[in-house]
């Protein structure tokens, strides 16, 4: 497993535990997170606010099914279970593209699809 893939797994582990410091340690100061169809955050401060979005409860259960290392880009695919405060539990599939700069995640393109 490459260093970039290890960083992606640390990042995902951070979300599983809602560990802000662990997640933020994987990111550049000017990180951009595009959750396509939903929103985009710019910089660590905005990113930090999104780690535990107030519309959701607890930490997500995330299962990484595959990672693909393409040098400066690592792709992670998998499934998850989250809990929306009003709508309750939901299942989803995700595909995240992590773009690296100087060993840290500089951009994340997230594609999330609800599962029935």
Q: What Å distances lie between residue 112 and 3, 15, 22, 80, CA to CA?
A: 25, 15, 22, 10
Residue pLDDT, tens place only, 80-95: 998 888 888 899 999 9
CATH number of the CATH domain containing 76: 3.10.450.50
32-65 per-position pLDDT tens digit: 999 999 999 999 999 998 887 777 788 889 999 9
- Domain of residue 19 covers 3-115
How far apart (Å, rounded) are the C-alpha atoms in residues 103 and 94? 23
Tell me how many domains the chain contains: 1
């Amino acid at each position: 497993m490459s260093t970039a893939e290890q960083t992606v797994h640390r990042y995902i582990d951070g979300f599983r535990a809602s560990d802000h410091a662990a997640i933020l340690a994987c990111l550049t100061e000017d990180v951009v997170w595009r959750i396509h169809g939903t929103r985009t955050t710019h910089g660590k401060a905005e990113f930090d606010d999104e780690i535990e979005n107030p519309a959701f409860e607890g930490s997500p259960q995330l299962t990484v099914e595959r990672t693909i290392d393409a040098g400066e880009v690592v792709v992670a695919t998998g499934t998850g279970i989250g809990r929306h405060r009003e709508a309750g539990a939901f299942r989803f599939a995700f595909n995240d593209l992590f773009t690296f700069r100087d060993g840290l995640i500089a951009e994340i393109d997230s594609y999330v699809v609800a599962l029935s």
